[in-house]
Structure 1
């Protein structure tokens, strides 16, 4: 069990982030055990067509039969908008001693796999090159869809943290995580990994698409971090529909009404297009119209423009789902006069 002792239970001790490198490395578990990742089979089928163009000897050596991966390949991200290029640059500067230590922790006392033998700098350079190529061929085309799901999870968890408090939020992450007083406990399958660490610079929570239970760094000197399964994985590779309330659909059209319903949480046009299986230009046309009508608001995050439903959009959807008050005809049928506003009954 790993125990992270927080300085307090206020919101400042906990932050959320997304790591493209974590997702890239953890996905290698599905290479070894595709049957354990049935929801990713559409992606795995696409991967099969380019696998012979990758340095799969190195990539497969980065995980073992238990699904462990080296800690140095899972650096703590600092933002929900972390970029892979930044993470690979940090990875390239890893201390060779840490590389050897973490590879030994994964593969035990047995000799390291042949692709991981040799001088630390040379092995690290080959790992970085293999991961970069893997990203370009297998991840980059799908990353907007993956990132949208991960960022949606971060938005949801942040709201639960603000509304229900830390204990409720941690309890929902996984059955293996709980907050007991000021201590966050993470139960790992390997009972040999046990340490307690006092958190002085924040605990980072990272959603991932490639785990069933929560996990944390094996080495106690690594920054405090918990990886947990993101919500909505079953929908990742399926085109999403746009449920549209009837009254609003008649007013502004089914597609725009569906987008309005969808944008309870922020999303970019690229992310929406990926989720819905349409082109960004088609989505942009509708988003511009909804924004011009005051139904959406925008905010810039890095290079992306995020859209979210405005207060006016909330009210429009709310009105469309309200039950109409009985009119004169209903009053005649019941034999009662319609109630006047403000009068008690």
Structure 2
């Protein structure tokens, strides 16, 4: 039977979009385990391979069954829209050992032989130590695998949130869920996730967290038993180009019109992004990028919107047309 999330009147007003660096860390570890998730991430895999080889990820991998329960205490839903990894990890470290042991057991029994394995026995024997060791391993995975790439990842996730927030405002929940993932559908007052396992939960005024992820593709993930916040994790838009290099040099005509730095910033804004994300991508000082963004916005080429503590910039229709223009030296011209 599929998953069912049953909405009441209050829940319709309490859907929100958080971003979780801790979730991305967990799913990055899962990408290393399951080859079907690696297609979009080969450039990243090449970069982090040596660092990944220096980590013993087996305890985390043992708790990532192909089908079945993943420990909720290791992946608590984020408490706010833009929490830090350190804030999220503190919640993992604060897990109750007794509840964590049952959570670990439920996960281990989903993989044949996991309970009897040396790692499984160690995890169950001393849950207080296991919580500490698993949190330490998540922290090392974050530092080695995700943190160096977080500005790029965060920019992708923030752009997705902005897109779907507008979709929600324009068409309501039915239009929103119709575009998140093929396995999601809206039926009456219920969000249905097509799955072989059964999960039925009334939201009871808590609402639903809708969390984009760069690493969860091709799946959509739902679950969390009480008291955890009901959550659906779905693949973020644009992951196919996440690790892609710039698609060619900035046209000379655009560079002459705006100046090369401002032209490159405009071309880089294929999806909304923050100052820090653009600075990291273009290898410029944040103060320099900020000054250029203000100039472009004053010229009517950019719009800005606030997301948590950050401001995202996106191109206006005029800027899109300018950025898409073809260099006269290429022998062709825009239609």
TM bucket by the smaller chain? 0.7 to 0.9
Query: What does residue 280 of structure 1 align with?
Result: 284
Which residue of the other structure, out of 176, 179, 183, is the alignment partner of 2:186?
A: 179
Which residue of the other structure, out of 104, 121, 131, is the alignment partner of 2:128?
A: 121
Q: Which ranges in structure 1 are unaligned for 5 or more consecutive residues? A: 322-345
Alignment of 1:1-345 (within 5 A): 1-8=2-9, 12-66=13-67, 69-108=70-109, 110=113, 111=115, 113-115=117-119, 116-188=123-195, 191-211=196-216, 212-217=218-223, 219=225, 221-241=227-247, 249-253=255-259, 255-260=261-266, 263=269, 266-274=272-280, 276=281, 278-281=282-285, 284-292=287-295, 294-295=298-299, 304=310, 306-308=311-313, 314=316, 317=319
Aligned length: 312
User: Which TM-score applies when normalising by structure 2?
Assistant: 0.80
Instruction: Kindly state the Cα deviation for residue 106 of structure 1 after the two structures are TM-superposed.
Output: 1.9
Q: 1:112 to 1:177 in 2, by over 3 A?
A: farther
Task: Flag the structure with more relative contact order, 1 or 2, with Cα contacts below 8 A and sequence separation at least 6.
Answer: 2
User: Which TM-score applies when normalising by structure 1?
Assistant: 0.78
Q: Equivalents in 2 of 1:217, 1:308: separation in Å?
A: 33
Instruction: Kindly state the Cα deviation for residue 240 of structure 1 after the two structures are TM-superposed.
Output: 3.5
CA contact (8 A) 2:224 2:231 kept: no
CA contact (8 A) 2:12 2:207 kept: no
Q: 1:33 to 1:297 in 2, by over 3 A?
A: closer
Query: What does residue 331 of structure 2 align with?
Result: none
Q: 1:245 to 1:4 in 2, by over 3 A?
A: farther
Q: 1:32 to 1:166 in 2, by over 3 A?
A: same
Instruction: Kindly state the Cα deviation for residue 235 of structure 1 after the two structures are TM-superposed.
Output: 0.9
Q: Equivalents in 2 of 1:242, 1:167: separation in Å?
A: 39
Q: Equivalents in 2 of 1:199, 1:254: separation in Å?
A: 54
Q: 1:261 to 1:49 in 2, by over 3 A?
A: closer
What root-mean-square deviation, in Å, do the aligned CA atoms of Structure 1 and Structure 2 show?
A: 3.1
Q: 1:318 to 1:23 in 2, by over 3 A?
A: closer
Query: What does residue 325 of structure 1 align with?
Result: none
Listed one character per residue, the Cα deviations across residues 225-284 of structure 1 (whole Å, up to 9, x for unaligned) are 10111111111111234897997654313542453365586522221234x4x3132x64
